[in-house]
Structure 1
Amino acid sequence: MRIRGGIKSMSYYLWFRESIEDLERARKLVKLNDIKAAYFFLQQAIEKAFKGLLLKKLIFVKSHDISLLYDYISDEYKEFRNLPEEEVEMIKSLTIHYSASRYPDARIRFKIPEELYNDVNKVKRMIEIVEKILEFSKKLLEKDPKFGIDERGISIDEIISKYINRVRKFLNLACVIVFGSRSRGDWKPWSDVDIVVIVHEMNIKNFNELFKVLHEPLIEYRIYRVDEALQAIREGDPTLLLALFEGVVVYDDGIYNRLRDLFRKLWRVEVLLPNVAYKFIRNMSA
């Protein structure tokens, strides 16, 4: 099923970020000789990358079928038509692994020989192809300014880059995350740029001096020290939870993974339809 429009709050970068993580999961599983599970995550990597690309065009296709997703992708992004046919057919063949890698009856139905899930060379070749497709997809996603333009037509990416370089001169910067409409893709030229700024130490004690450093027209910032950010995640600070869930990291000295891992340990996300709002629910086991 294909839906166009009405899904502007769905961040295409969330899908693409997950696709890269699924590829990494597949690599790790091959090292553990769990080839069945590796094929499942390779299928997921392609599915999520394609859905991310389609969401950028405000299209959502409710299907796990890579062939179907590819048909939509090649309509919306003509560049895909130039990919080698052999590679296209290989990624299309991943569809069956959505179920066959997990269910024995599906393997019988699709007539998949057990040897396939013992063939390390074949799965490694598939990893190479999936990695290539994801790199190709990433270039298409980044073809236009990631965060759009302002009312003057100036790239928001450029504004953010200059902002980070300026702030770094005055603050011991740890991480900057862009979230809200600019990360989701449903921005307007007059939309604010919502960011979370995380620092190791607040070197500036005077509020007026801090304001001068952080103030930038169009940018709405929220600043935390690292220890404050960790505590805010534990307490369920909605701004920080939203930034960690849907945001795009634009600067990181290594602290982001620690923040993200704590968020994933403590919280799960429920998507509320039809307007696509997020509800953060504390994991009871955490």
Structure 2
Amino acid sequence: MMYLTIAVLCSVAVSVLLKILRQRNIDIRQTIVAGYPVAFLLTWFLLKPDISGLSLLGSAWGIIIALGVLLPAVFIILGRAIAAVGMVATDAAQRLSLIIPIVAAFLLFGEMLTGTRIFGLVLGFLALGALVYRPQQGGMDKQARQTPLWLFGVWAGYGIIDILFKQVAKQGSAFPLTLFISFGLAGLLLFIYLLITRVRWQGNALMAGVLLGALNMGNIYAYVRAHQVLSESPSIVFTGMNVGVIAVATIIGVGVFKERLNRINIIGLLLAVGCVAVLFLA
């Protein structure tokens, strides 16, 4: 249970860090780009990717390139969503992204869609709708109107990344090597983009990147180790990770950052927990 707890805490800590950076007007893009070299090196030391497997990647390179673009993009969207709706709704939307691989498995890969899964998917979409709900107010500004889009971006982005990782694994590529290359490519592409846009570098943003990279890799490593240690109880890992993140994020978001949730949002959180439980049982 120690690894599972660490995975949950690291995942929520990423959202906490991004929220604090937003509050202090720190350029999150710079923090993200500084975090990738840290995650890159930690992947090398902790997961020990087999570089000799590069020649076996083949057609998986297209997926790896897509990951290199999506990984930093989704992090930026995550920061925007946290600023717009708070970490409670954002982390719940991230956990609900598990819906997308399930739908893809049915539509693209020919898997059977059972009644239980349909019920779980319905719960998930209802939860997402409830989480993005905000009471109508006169004279809404542009940022307020874009709020559902940021949350949808988090949901869709993490769901697509999950599909890409699963497809790479099916093609026989080692997960550590895929992660290693994807981190390196993501950091390089974002760095080139920032150079082209002639960004004004912020020392505090780059320093925060060291912490972000460590937390991101800590989340992934602990989650993988939790599956290894609890190999006979994958349900504990799956449910514990998803429900745990929603619960801890809610406690911190409401208790520490004083985020406000309306009744519809609270129903959305409950539906999200129900969705996770039903999809596991399916």
Task: Bin the TM-score by the shorter chain.
Answer: under 0.3
Report the structure, 1 or 2, having the larger helix content.
Answer: 2
Higher Rg of the two aligned structures: 1
Work out which structure has the larger RCO, using CA pairs closer than 8 Å and 6 or more positions apart in sequence: 2
After TM superposition, the score normalised by the length of structure 2 is 0.26
